[in-house]
Amino acid sequence: MRKALVVGASGGMGYSIVKELSGRGIAVIAFARTKAKLEKLFEGDPNVTIFTGDIFRIEDLRAAASDVDVIFQAANIPYSEWEEKLALFMSNIVNVSRHQSAKLAIVDNIYAYGRSAGKKVSETTPKNPHTKKGSIRLQVETMVKESGVPALIVHFPDFYGPNAENTLLHYTLQNIVNNKKSSFVGDQKIAREFIFTPDGAKAIVNLALHDHAYGQNWNIPGYDVITGEEIVETIRTITHYNKRVSTVTKNMIRFLGLFSSNMREVVEMFYLNEEPVVLSGEKYEKLMGPLPRTSYREGLRQTIEYMKGNKSV
C-alpha cells in the first residue's frame, strides 16, 4: 500500500486509522467535512494530506481518491438519517473504489448480527437483525458484496479512545474529565465489550495489507468484557475522581426521544446494553496472529490524557 484514503478521518476510528497508516510511513488522504478540525488533528504530519469534502458528492470522493490503493470507509451519519442516506453514501464510496480500481476496507458495527443469545459471535454466525438499523447495515453489506469491488468488512464493538467523541464511553468520560457529575448508559452491572480505537485501527490496517483478507468479513473484539462498575472504578484509580456516576436507563432515553429524533433512534439499540453482543476474534488470530489488545486501564488512561490535552479539538 503506497497511498490510502480515509473517509471520516475526523471521527474516532477514522482518526486512529490515519495515525496508524502514517506511523507505518504510508501516505494518507484524510477526508472529512470540516477543514479546521482536520488541521487540528493532523497538523504537522508529513504523511497526511487533508481533503475537505462531502461524502454525498461523488465528485469530492473521486478527487480525494485519485491514485490511492485502498479506501478506508470510517464515516458515519446520525441514526435519524440512516434509512434515507446510508445506502446512498456507501454506494458513492463503492462506485469511487471501482472507478479508481482501489480496494475497500469498511469499518462496521455489530448491529446486523442481531441478538446473540449469550454466545460469542463469529463470522459464520448467521446475521439476523431484529432492528431497523441492523437491517439497513445488512442491506449495505449485501450491496458491497454484490458490487464486485474487492472489499473487507470489519465488525467492531463500541469504540472508545482518542478523539472518539460520538461514543457511549465518551459521554461518561467528558464530565469526569471536567470533574463534574457523570452518567453511564445502561446497567452498570452488565459486562459488555468495548474496543480501544488504536487497536481497531491496527487490526483493520493489518487486514488491508493482506490480499487474502478481501472478499471477507472480520470480527475484531475488544480487550475483554467489562462492567460499567469496573470501568468507573478503573477511571477513579486513574483520575482520583470521586463524584457519583449515575445510570442512564432505557426509559430516560425514551423520554429524551420525545424531543430528539436521534434519541428516538438510540432507544432501538438499547438492547445492546442489556444483551451484549461479544465478538470472537479466532478467525483474525488464525490468519494474522495475536489481536491488538490494550488493557482497559491503559486505554482509558490514554483516552483521558488525550481529552485533557485536546479540549478545544
Q: pLDDT means per 10 residues in the chain (313 residues)?
A: 96 97 97 94 95 95 96 92 91 95 96 88 94 93 95 96 92 92 92 96 98 96 95 94 90 66 70 90 95 97 93 51
pTM of the model: 0.94
Question: Quick one: pLDDT at residue 95?
Answer: 96
**Rounded Cα–Cα distance for residues 48 and 41 (Å):** 10
Size (the chain), residues: 313
pLDDT for position 206: 98
The helix (run of H) or strand (run of E) holding residue 252 is helix 250-256
Q: Count other Cβ atoms within 10 Å, centred on residue 196.
A: 26
Q: How far apart are CA 289 and CA 143, in angstroms?
A: 30
Q: What is the C-alpha separation between 66 and 26, in angstroms, rounded? A: 15
Pairing outcome for strands 103-108 and 70-73:
parallel
How far is 187 from 34, CA to CA, in rounded Å? 35
Of residues 274, 226, 227, the one with CA closest to residue 250: 274
Could you tell me the three cell numbers for 145?
A: 458484496
| Cα(27)–Cα(36) distance, integer angstroms | 20
Q: How far apart are CA 235 and CA 226, in angstroms?
A: 13
Whether residue 225 contacts residue 276, with contact meaning beta carbons closer than 8 Å, is answered with yes
Pairwise CA distance, residues 253 & 297, whole Å: 28
Predicted pLDDT of residue 210: 95
DSSP designation for 188: T
Q: Which CATH class is domain 3-163+195-222+277-294?
A: alpha beta
As given in the structure block, the three cell numbers for residue 217 are 468479513
Q: What is the DSSP letter of 85?
A: I
Three-state DSSP at 129 gives: coil
pLDDT of residue 263: 63
Residue among 310, 308, 299 nearest 158 (CA): 299
Domain ranges of the chain: 3-163+195-222+277-294
Looking at residue 118, its pLDDT comes to 79
What distance separates the 2 farthest-apart alpha carbons in the chain?
55
